[in-house]
Chains A and B, each alone.
Chain A
Amino acid sequence: MSADNMHIKLKVWRQSNSNTKGDFENYSLDHVSPDMSFLEMFDVLNEQLIEEGKEPVAFDHDCREGICGMCSMYINGRAHGPLKGVTTCQLHMRSFNDGDTIVVEPWRAEAFPVIKDLVVDRDAFDRVISAGGFVSVNTGNAQDANSLPIPKIAADEAFAAAACIACGACVAACKNASAMLFVSAKISQLALLPQGQAERTIRAEKMVAQMDAEGFGNCTNTGACSAECPKEIGQENIARMNREYIGAKLSSSAV
């Protein structure tokens, strides 16, 4: 191994299923490259475990390029680790020091039960999204959608909200395990666009109701979610959701 070979100690949460009590296991890796991503480092760990005849660590991942939102890991007390605006798969071992002990835990929230090791069930997010329902305005194919005139400011703001990858880091980082940043991003991306107007009020009402039913906490505006969000979704979205929801409750025909 080259001169910049790293020795890393890991303290990883192991739990065989949602009904068992988990605990931390300690591991030691002697051949970690600073250029590896955090997940590649876990691949190395798992190969080592398989060679030793042990159960590899279960962790979620898919794209490994920061767009799918699967790679949920609470690393050294931070959602997705120490960097700003970065998912675990985009975090590299050069962000750590040789000899470091790294603590890795799953997202902790009543609404995100642990399935196995570091894998949590984030179906609650999917149920919030489906509660939002359909957009009845037909947007057509790509070029039809592009031909619909939308003011640049609205398009930019909607796009910034739509950048949310539903990773759950906001819930994981929030002291209240509140999902308000995620839900506000999903409500905002449609509330800002002309296609989203027809179902605007009912969507806000239903998505918030589903969010509450899932057992997420209540936002106290600490701002932790935006600070830890890999897509840097801003607090103004939560303010917009509050306006949308209160406005919807006061004006919608659902009594």
Chain B
Amino acid sequence: MSWFSQTLTSSIGKKLLMALTGLFLISFLVIHATINAMIFYNDGGETFTHWGHFMGTNPIVRTLEIGLIIGFLVHIVDGLILWKNNSEARPIKYAMNKPSANSTWYSRSMGLLGTLLLIFLVIHTAHFWIPNRSNQFATGEELNLYQMMLDIFQNPLVVLIYVLGCISLFWHLLHGFKSAFQTLGLNHIKYNGAINFLGTAFSIVVPILFALMPISIYLGWVY
């Protein structure tokens, strides 16, 4: 094996990929949340559709979208490989174990939270991204995503699934954000405070913002 693939397949290399793709996905969330928050202008989706059109058609953004898909795939596949490796590292479990004495439950449940996110991601892309891109591919026309949102979020079960997705995201990020910096070796008394604050704030603000979208539409605050 070359030194490069040796590095990426080592324990630290796999963690490094996890952290880099995780932070990349976080940067995607910033943009995704910002553009979707345009629905709160309550202008019949005008601002939202304007930016949605830009994101859906701009060639640079469309190229970056390929990077995003790869980022998701690497993060998911690598995460599942790590999860498998880690359960194999302890084939016989303890009869009595008190992990709550030494760590938080969500830091120990990243694989589970990630899998919940994956299930959510399948449902979510089936609602919007896949129909829109396939329509663009077939006819060159974009779908009216705003109207689709108004329709889809009339179903309380769908709203519930989206809220649960946001809750999973909250816990995944509450550990993941800080964890990514530690993995990258960025643990320093000068910056730890800022990283922890930013990580907690981000994990709270972004999922709440996302959850408010289906809720607001369902309750008729956004129409």
Contacts and interface: CB of A to CB of B under 8 A. Distances in A.
A246 B89 contact: no
Interface stretch (B34-42, B60-68, B98-106): B98-106
Given A221-B183, A242-B15, A255 B2 contact: yes
Given A24-B95, A77-B97, A176 B187 contact: no
A249 B11 CA distance: 13
B108 A108 contact: no
Interface string A15-44: 000000000100000000000000000000
B14 A109 contact: no
A170 to B, nearest CB: 10
Contact of A175 (B86, B183, B187): B86
B86 A220 contact: yes
A255 B1 CA distance: 9
Given A176-B90, A223-B107, A212 B10 contact: yes
A221 B179 contact: yes
Given A103-B95, A105-B94, A108-B94, A217 B12 contact: no
Interface of A is mostly: mixed
A77 B95 CA distance: 8
B3 A254 contact: yes
B85 interface: yes
Interface string A211-255: 110011111111110011000000110111111011001000011
A224 B11 contact: no
Interface string B60-100: 00000000000000000000001001101111111111110
B182 A105 contact: no
Interface residues of B, number: 42
Nearest to B178: A221
Contacts of B15: 218-219, 242
A175 B12 CA distance: 17
A211 B12 CA distance: 11
Contacts of B26: none
Contacts of A13: 95
Interface in B1-38: 2-3, 6-7, 10-16
A24 B94 CA distance: 12
Given A240-B185, A242-B184, A211 B11 contact: yes
Contacts of B183: 219, 221, 242
Interface of B: 2-3, 6-7, 10-16, 82, 85-86, 88-99, 101-104, 107-108, 110, 175, 178-179, 182-187
Given A103-B96, A222-B108, A246-B7, 17 more contacts: A76-B96, A77-B98, A105-B94, A110-B89, A175-B86, A175-B103, A211-B11, A217-B88, A217-B89, A221-B178, A221-B183, A222-B107, A227-B101, A239-B186, A245-B10, A246-B185, A249-B13
